[in-house]
Amino acid sequence: MRKWSTQSIQKQPVLEKISSLGYDVIMFDENLIIYLDGEFLKLKDSGISPLTHSLHYGSGVFEGIRAYKIKKGGGVFKLQEHIDRLFYSADSIGMKIPLKKEELKKIIPEVLRKNNLESAYIRPLIFFDGSSLGIDTKNNRVKVLVAAWAWGKYLADAVRVQISDFRRISEKSTVCDAKISGHYVNSLLATSKAKVNGFDEALLLDHQDNIAEGPGENIFLVREKELHTPKTGKILKGITRETVMEIAQKFGYEIFERDISPEELENFDGAFFSGTAAEVTPISEIEFQGKIFSFDTDSARDIREEFFRIVGPENEDSENYFTLI
Ligand SMILES: Cc1ncc(COP(=O)(O)O)c(C=O)c1O
């Protein structure tokens, strides 16, 4: 039985509509092997406390990493970069990860091996345990969890996007380039509302009315051999974003990292999202205040194709991007 009063439901139109939509959800196998606090165990045996601090306050930090099956077998994409960002995120909230980077770098492929996964989505989460529920975390222990599962495409081949009226979290309110669990309520609201409104994904503006990023993706805008993308500082510094820029440079694109206003959208031929989950996904249109900006989903095709070649089964180069499982 829902406990919200009618009045509170009216104040929460987005959440209310979403619960009735019934999107596809991944149901996890309870026999999945996870790493938790020094042990490999079954998901059903994790025994995580309902009083876990990070569950109540969003005080975890996490990563989303992909492993791909390349020519030499399974490989984790840009593992070092993801581990570095995880430690940066932990540091930003004063959390000390009880493992060395090198140790975590070994545990992650081990979780894949134990689940017989070559191509997978990997989720390390570092969180404060249930020792205490004071907001300050001095009495909590830090726990390390790594889970992995097979996960295909996150978005459609090309997506229709709506600029959200929820703003991206501000650098004045939080460390907004850290991947902190609590930040994702902002993402959840934006993506859910865009979907309720009939779009595939949201795009959030920052507090200065410039384009920031998607709920779980960075954005690029394309004009001939130019790539324009919001500068870092207010956005998550995406690892796929870096990869896209490396590829673009190789292919002779000029890259502009700058403030971009939504009114400028009409000056671009193409747009695409980048992200670990979203990979490189063309955007076919962006709606902003009732106006639709349409894009050629074939623009910057060379960048997209090169990205999928790198993470594809024929790629023989495991040195540059991959940690082999
Ligand atoms: C808010 C946000 N922006 C951008 C990205 C893309 O980052 P990456 O390419 O490192 O996955 C993500 C995903 O991690 C994200 O959650």
Q: Check: CATH 3.30.70.3000 for 31-149?
A: no
89 pLDDT higher than 70: yes
Rounded to an integer, what distance in angstroms lies between the CA atom of residue 250 and that of residue 49? Answer: 49
Q: Ligand 1 centroid to 240 CA: how many Å?
A: 8
What kind and span of H or E run contains 229?
Answer: strand 226-229
Q: How far, in Å, CA of 96 to CA of 18, rounded?
A: 36
Question: Does residue 30 contact residue 115 with C-beta atoms inside 8 Å?
Answer: no
CATH of 159-310, one of 3.10.310.10, 3.20.10.10, 3.40.30.10, 3.20.20.140: 3.20.10.10
* Nearest-angstrom CA–CA distance, 279 and 154: 8
For the chain, residues classed under CATH 3.20.10.10 are 159-310
pLDDT tens digits for range 231-253: 999 999 999 999 999 999 999 99
User: Please, what is the end-to-end C-alpha distance for the chain in angstroms?
Assistant: 46
Catalytic residue among 78, 179, 195, 234: 179
Give the angle subtended at the CA of 155 by the CAs of 192 and 43, to the nearest 5°.
80
Give the Cα separation of 180 and 184 in Å (integer).
8
What's the whole-model pTM score?
0.91
Q: Please, where are the H alpha helices in 120-224?
A: 184-196
How far is residue 148's CA from residue 62's CA, in Å, rounded to a whole number?
Answer: 13
Protein residues with CB under 6 Å of any ligand 1 atom? 64, 187, 213, 216-218, 236, 238-241, 274-276
* pLDDT at 21 (0 to 100): 45
Minimum mean pLDDT range among 59-63, 76-80, 100-104, 315-319? 315-319
Which atom of ligand 1 lies at the shortest distance from residue 240's CA? 9
The pLDDT, as a whole number, for residue 317 is 86
Q: Please name the residue that has the structure tokens 């930003």.
A: 92
Active site residue 179: yes
Give the per-residue pLDDT at 28.
Answer: 79
Pick the more confident residue, 287 or 48: 287
pLDDT digits (tens, 9 = 90+) for 130-152: 999 999 998 999 999 999 999 88
What pLDDT score was predicted for residue 30?
A: 84
Find the 63 Cα to ligand 1 centroid distance in Å. 9
Per residue in 97-131, pLDDT tens? 999 999 999 999 999 999 999 999 999 999 999 99
Atom of ligand 1 nearest to the CA of 276: 11
- Taking only the tens place, the pLDDT of each residue in 250-269 is 999 999 999 999 999 999 99
